[in-house]
Amino acid sequence: MSSRNTNMSNYELGRVFNSAKKVFFVGIGGISMSSLAQYCIYHGKEVFGYDGVRGEECKRLEKHAHIRYCSTTDSVIGMDLVVFSNAISEDSFELHTARAKGIPTVSRANFLAYIMSNYRVRIGVSGTHGKSTLTAMLAHIFRHAGYDPTVICGAKMKEFDAPYRFGRREYFIFEACEYMDSFLSFIPSDAVVTNIDFDHPDYFEDLGHIQRSFRKYILPAQRVFINADDAPSAVLSHPFKITYALNQCADYTAKIDTESASERFSVLYRGKELAKIMPCVRGRHNIYNALCAFAVSHTHGIPAHTIASALSSFEGIARRQELIKHILSPTGADVSIFLDYAHHPTEIRASLEGFRSMGFKHILCIFQAHTYSRTRALYAELLSSFSGADEVIIAPTYSAREARDESVSEERLALELGALYLDELPKIAEKVRQSEADCVIIMGAGDIDKLKNYI
């Protein structure tokens, strides 16, 4: 069972944190957890932690933190504070021991809420899709404009070679994850809602349940930015609601240049053109991200020409249409290999559309489903998500926090998709080398990125 979020007050947590010398992170290798661990190191704390996998973020932390890869009962002894991820079970050795010994324990979201409480402007980027890219876009724009923001992102930002950035205590730009209602711990001054879609079926019952959570999330904000083209988001109400859209009437709109082979577009504010944007990242979903980033930045007084310049140089984030290498096909032609994080049907469709717009002729998509519960709940949608690919290979599911579910069959999914199921990375790599594709996409939010080491 996943761990529930705590609700320690900022005053109480501040008292504990300020006096703490040793902080322990349970699940330290998670992208957000590792950033919070780096924050503690930055503020002079001695950091310890546990994770079941020695991933990239753990390797980065090992230079400054003490990390164990085996869960034990004694690892938290002597700690002053224990921070845990929702992915950690309530009966984990570390949590059980900390609570038995009276060591303060706090959830990731609760700890992040305390950190951001020290900042005047707190820009929280929420939504089912696009959070990480938009967070990184905003960080890039604010830095380009001469600001010095602190940023906590859900993916490695290429500009900073990390998923975090520590700046002055004025602007805090952060990704607000909805899973297990984590974002209800936060009090953003500016709340962004990119879109609302049914996801995380292991926690949310239906779309209405998710909408109710987003409605609660935006309540304390001073300003709210809403995608007016997204029907489940558009119905959210707030006294200071700023809208953006491509197809609906909104405060900020985009006019796409249909004469251009690129995805150049103009930004209009209440009908008046402010700037022309030539984004580096492709796909209509990234036009929405750029338009929202423009709206937020412009509302904070950054000049339109500065925003446009920044968006034209934004190169994206890790595992989002990330070109990682080139190989030769059996005929000697160049093949581009990409990593992509899409794991929800809506994201898969949008991402493949973006790749198709790059002009590739034959796209091979290697897909790893993320959690059995998501595959089971969104199975019908998955079957209609891969039309943008010419070939599809299904890899074994990444179970994450879940036990194996025999009712979810990768073989059946592949059969109904007209795809191929391969159960080992070397087998998939061999099939890639034999393919005539000019674009290969390694797609999923789990450990499928390890395939790059075999190709």
CA 282 to chain centroid, in Å, comes to 17
Torsion angle (degrees, nearest 10) of CA 351, 163, 124, 39: 170
> In terms of CATH, what superfamily is 10-111?
NAD(P)-binding Rossmann-like Domain (3.40.50.720)
The pLDDT, as a whole number, for residue 1 is 55
**For residue 384, what are the CA distances in angstroms to 279, 381, 417, 446?**
28, 5, 8, 21
The pLDDT, as a whole number, for residue 190 is 98
The pLDDT, as a whole number, for residue 330 is 87
Say what percent of the chain tops pLDDT 70.
Answer: 99
The pLDDT, as a whole number, for residue 261 is 57
The beta strand positions in 282-436, using DSSP E, are: 322-328, 334-340, 363-370, 391-398, 420-421
* Cβ–Cβ under 8 Å, residues 386 and 340: no
Structure tokens at 10: 């900022």
Report helix, strand or coil for 211: helix
CATH number of 119-312: 3.40.1190.10
Q: Which residues in the chain come in under a pLDDT of 70?
A: 1, 259-262
The pLDDT, as a whole number, for residue 279 is 86
> In terms of CATH, what superfamily is 322-453?
Mur ligase, C-terminal domain (3.90.190.20)
The pLDDT, as a whole number, for residue 73 is 85
Break the chain into its structural domains and give their ranges: 10-111, 119-312, 322-453
Per-residue model confidence as pLDDT tens digits over 249-285: 999 999 998 766 567 899 999 999 999 999 888 888 9
Question: How far is Cα 293 from Cα 429, in angstroms, rounded to an integer?
Answer: 38
Structure tokens at 185: 């711990």
Query: What percentage of the chain's residues is helix, strand, coil (to nearest 5)?
Result: 35, 25, 40
State the number of CA atoms in the 13 A half-sphere of 48 facing the CB: 18
Question: How far is Cα 140 from Cα 1, in angstroms, rounded to an integer?
Answer: 37
Question: How far is Cα 307 from Cα 17, in angstroms, rounded to an integer?
Answer: 37
The pLDDT, as a whole number, for residue 282 is 84
Per-residue model confidence as pLDDT tens digits over 344-380: 999 999 999 999 989 999 999 999 999 999 999 999 9
Structure tokens at 38: 């780096």
β-sheet with 223-227: strand ranges across: 162-165, 150-157, 171-175, 121-126, 190-193, 223-227, 241-245, 252-256, 265-269, 272-277
